[in-house]
Chains A and B, each alone.
Chain A
């Protein structure tokens, strides 16, 4: 780490991930935390957990991705703010240069990225429905009083997985309850749920896309062995769960920060002191025109550092004034 490090942050709806990457592209440290509805606190906590040795190294660049990228990007002083699809694609190529399909299932969304000859050529994302994503599994595990970490192992023990309607999470839940009442063993229901989720993914997110091996399975849900097995059964070939599957987005963000290093001389990173700062976020409806945009502003230590959500760009301009 003597030559400096890149930070990559993925601020998702369910988890917030942070990686520390060497200029060579290697992940030397990773933190995986629950966002718990408070992305700012989660990122502060993640950086606090890094410890002293990282605090002393030079920061070469910071990349941020995930649904909270704009907010966290402003607070950190990120050099690169990128969408999750690009970040996941870049990380997958770093992990497995021959990859042809990336399956990513996160908390609120799931995606597929089709890669040919080392270039992403197509992608798909789930539409508004969250059936077939991590939070649905989370919910069901909760309902069954199972720690989510044991979910996969339990599914693997199933002898006769039951068929669960996976098209809609609400219907899936009532179907599961029905199966429980009928007396099916828990492991068969859990395994059935895994298959339902995979079927929903393949029919919905991956509809019309050619899934060719090698397939990389990443995102928080990739830790679930039951889902991995269900994918392999449906696809008919093995899928690879990369070592850093849980932090691929963050790794991708760090890789993108490295890639664009030529465009910024020194990192805009505001330093680890942001962990102790008081960060206030407020929103209001701008009354200046008929659009009535919901504008978000971020204040750090009493000074406005960023704003967005407006269509005219008036509140966004303070971003560049503060950081650029």
Chain B
């Protein structure tokens, strides 16, 4: 019997939940199929199809859906509403399944809901086809395994691995070769801006290539971030925004030489968060470089700013300028 292929777009919160989704479908006896890294063809497809107002990462998501839909039987289009109590994910992500349906035009979507409390603990969040198509205890068992994988993945990242490295370690048992050392640099932003090497022009590699040790938000546990933001006069509404501001503070405490902030052009919630980060960086005297990502990102301006910022950090600390 042919195993049903579940397409998983490598976009948006794939960088948080991708490994767990893969484990879940595998445990159920299905074949998870993850789309390849973003490339020009994917970006072009997404930009052409998406409505104007959405941010670049949503366009990238649609591009992944469009280019992989013929290779899979079902397409996973998560509906993110909330992953923590009293916090929310961007409203554009709530309507993601509908946006995808408009773009892809297929009735083959699997909608996995992520609502308050019930992301990994409840059957209610799962796509209805899964609940009706498999015995209940088998689904429960698979969900438990997936949750364990998610926790293991998060622990690997908190131990200092980048998401791609943690995923390889978890699913393929490949431990990364790392050359440790070098001054610390913080890289903040939404996960889908930081780990998509195509839309950010290889920012992580660029920083590593210049001899920096890169610290990213996923290396900090959620608990620590919540603690860090206790003193805000009003809790932040957006989970993703919280992570940016919270990890910015935590990175400062860890003594990073500077922070690079990659933001998605046309991201609403970020308009507020980036201003808060800017003000705090000024108060702390921590060098900050904010770069906007959009589909017109000129490589020249991006690289020039990045190089100039790294030179500034190196000169400030008296490192050799090579």
Does the CB pair A256–B304 fall under 8 Å? no
Given known contacts A122-B287, A263-B322, is B311 in contact with A83 (CB within 8 Å)? yes
Binds A, one of B18-26, B38-46, B166-174: B38-46
In the complex, chain A residues whose CB is within 8 Å of the CB of B315: 86, 119-120
Select B321's contact among A84, A260, A292, beta carbons within 8 Å: A260
Least CB distance, B258 to chain A, in whole angstroms: 10
Which residues on the B side are within 8 Å of A256 (C-beta)?
Answer: 321
How far, in whole Å, are A121 and B315 apart by their CA atoms in the complex? 9
| A119 in contact with B316 given A67-B300, A83-B304 (CB within 8 Å) | yes
A208 at interface by CB-CB < 8 Å: yes
Assess the A208–B278 pair: CB atoms within 8 A.
yes
Asked if B287 and A121 make an inter-chain contact with CB atoms under 8 angstroms apart, the answer reads yes
A290 and B42 contacting across the interface, CB-CB below 8 Å:
yes
Are A290 and B312 within 8 A (Cβ)?
no
- Nearest CB in chain A to that of B322: its residue: A263
A67-B300, A83-B308 as given contacts; A290 in contact with B39, CB under 8 Å: yes
Complex: A185 Cα to B311 Cα, angstroms: 47
A125 at interface by CB-CB < 8 Å: yes
Nearest-CB distance from B68 to chain A (Å)?
A: 12
Interface string of A82-113 (1 = CB under 8 A from B): 11111000000000000000000000000000
Q: Mark B23-49, 1 if CB is under 8 A from A, else 0.
A: 000000000000010011110000000
Contact A260 B42 (CB under 8 A): no
Q: Is B305 an interface residue (CB 8 A)?
A: yes
CA–CA, A86 and B306, complex, Å: 11
A303 on the B face (CB < 8 A): no
Is B202 interfacial (CB-CB < 8 Å)?
yes
Decide yes or no whether A259 CB sits under 8 A from chain B.
yes
Instruction: Say yes or no for B198: interface residue by CB 8 A criterion.
Output: yes
Provide the bound-state CA to CA distance between A290 and B40, in Å. Answer: 6
Whether a CB of chain B sits under 8 angstroms from the CB of A291 is yes
Minimum distance in angstroms from A189 CB to a CB of chain B: 32
Q: Are A291 and B198 in contact (CB under 8 A)?
A: yes
Q: Is the CB of A86 within 8 A of B308?
A: yes
Give the tally of cross-chain contacts (CB within 8 A): 61
Specify which of A86, A128, A263 is in contact with B307 (CB 8 Å cutoff).
A86
Alpha-carbon gap, A86 to B303, bound state (A): 13
Query: Does any Cβ of B come within 8 Å of A182's Cβ?
Result: no
Residue of A at shortest CB range from B67? Answer: A290
Q: Are A259 and B321 in contact (CB under 8 A)?
A: yes
Contacting A at CB under 8 A, from B175-202, are 198, 202
Chain A residues in 8 Å Cβ range of B301: 125, 128
Once the chains bind, are A260 and B322 in contact (CB under 8 Å)? yes
Among B289-322, those with CB < 8 Å from A are 298, 300-301, 303-305, 307-309, 311-312, 315-316, 320-322
- Whether A178 sits at the interface, judged by CB under 8 Å, is no
* Minimum Cβ distance to chain A for residue B200 (Å): 12
Q: Is the CB of A291 within 8 A of B40?
A: yes
Does A274 have its Cβ within 8 Å of any Cβ on chain B? no
**Could you say which residues of chain B place their CB within 8 Å of the CB of A83?**
303-304, 307-308, 311
Closest Cβ–Cβ distance, residue B272 to chain A (whole Å)? 16
- B residues in contact with A82, CB < 8 Å: 307, 311
Report the minimum CB–CB distance from A185 to chain B (whole Å).
Answer: 39
A84 proximity list for chain B (CB < 8 A): 304, 308
Chain A residues 252-305 with CB under 8 Å of chain B are 256, 259-260, 263, 289-292
Q: Which residues of A contact B307 (CB under 8 A)?
A: 82-83, 86
Interface residues of A in 171-213 (CB under 8 A from B): 208
User: Are the C-beta atoms of B311 and A289 separated by less than 8 Å?
Assistant: no
Q: How close is A10's CB to chain B, nearest CB, in angstroms?
A: 13
B213 to chain A, nearest CB (A): 21
CA distance A125 to B305 in the complex (A): 8
Chain A minimum-CB-distance residue to B42? A290
By the criterion CB–CB under 8 Å, are B198 and A123 in contact? no
A292 near B304 with CB under 8 A, answer no
- CB atoms of A291 and B39 under 8 A apart: yes
Are the C-beta atoms of A311 and B322 separated by less than 8 Å? no
| Min C-beta distance of A163 to chain B, whole Å | 30
Contact across chains for A85 and B321 when beta carbons are under 8 A apart: no
A85-B287 Cα distance, complex, nearest whole Å: 15
Distance between Cα atoms of A54 and B307 in the complex (Å): 32
**Docked CA distance A160–B303 (Å):** 43
Residue on A nearest B44 in the bound complex, by CB: A292
A289 touches B322 (CB 8 A): no
Most buried by A among B198, B307, B308: B308
Contact A121 B312 (CB under 8 A): yes
CB neighbours of B321 from chain A (8 A): 256, 259-260
Output the least CB separation between A244 and chain B (Å): 21
Q: Chain A residues near B298 (CB, 8 Å)?
A: 128
Question: Can you list 8 A-B contacts with CB-CB less than 8 angstroms, sorted by A residue number?
Answer: A119-B316, A120-B311, A120-B316, A122-B287, A256-B321, A263-B322, A289-B39, A311-B202
Q: Which residues of B come within 8 Å of A, CB atoms? A: 36, 39-42, 198, 202, 278, 287, 298, 300-301, 303-305, 307-309, 311-312, 315-316, 320-322
The 4 nearest A-B residue pairs measured at CB? A85-B308, A290-B39, A86-B311, A83-B307
A residues with CB within 8 A of B: 67, 82-86, 119-123, 125, 128, 208, 256, 259-260, 263, 289-292, 311
